Structure 1
Amino acid sequence: MNASHKPTIFLGIPKLPVRYGALVMPLLLSLLMTSIVSLISTLKSIGLSPQLTSKWLGAWGVSWLIAFPVLLLLLPVVRRATAALVRSP
């Protein structure tokens, strides 16, 4: 059976219906992007300090709270801009 047709993701957790894709993609993207950017920014600001983890998680939380709703709002605009710039198949 193809992995994309499996009814579960991990440990029996069922896959979400396809209608949630519009939320899952920006959720994952915002989590990954804000974690990387906030880590780099925190490292640049305080270096390899004993406080790095707590400072980074604080910065990450704030940046994610802003990034996720912004992504939800801007994703349709970005899709339209991409469609205007890229030739369709």
Structure 2
Amino acid sequence: MIPAKFAPVLFGFILSGLMSCIVSGIATFRALDGNGPFMEAWMTSWMFSWMVAFPTVLVVAPIARRIVAAIVSAPKT
């Protein structure tokens, strides 16, 4: 098991992996337009996308949390 202190990094790793997989798959499919070796092109695109997405998520997530906190109202106690 991984210690709980690494949960935010692990969350970012998994989230960025899933999101980059989906987005690169859609973009690759559209770019190839049904022509060419889809799986090979997709996996290549995905690995590059994930290398960009993971550090981006780690940097952008705290900013996004602050923006959301400023937009939503806190629950009243």
| TM-score normalised by length of structure 1 | 0.77
* Distance of 2:73 and 2:6 partners within structure 1: 27
Deviation at 1:21, TM superposition (A): 1.0
2:42 pairs with 1:46: no
Show structure 2 runs of 5+ residues with no match: none
Deviation at 1:80, TM superposition (A): 0.6
Q: Which moved more, 1:41-50 or 1:27-36?
A: 41-50
Runs of 4 or more above 2 Å deviation = 47-50
Among 59, 70, 73, the alignment partner of 1:84 is: 70
Show structure 1 runs of 5+ residues with no match: 1-13
Higher gyration radius (CA): 1
Structure having the larger proportion of residues in helix: 2
State the number of aligned residues.
Answer: 75
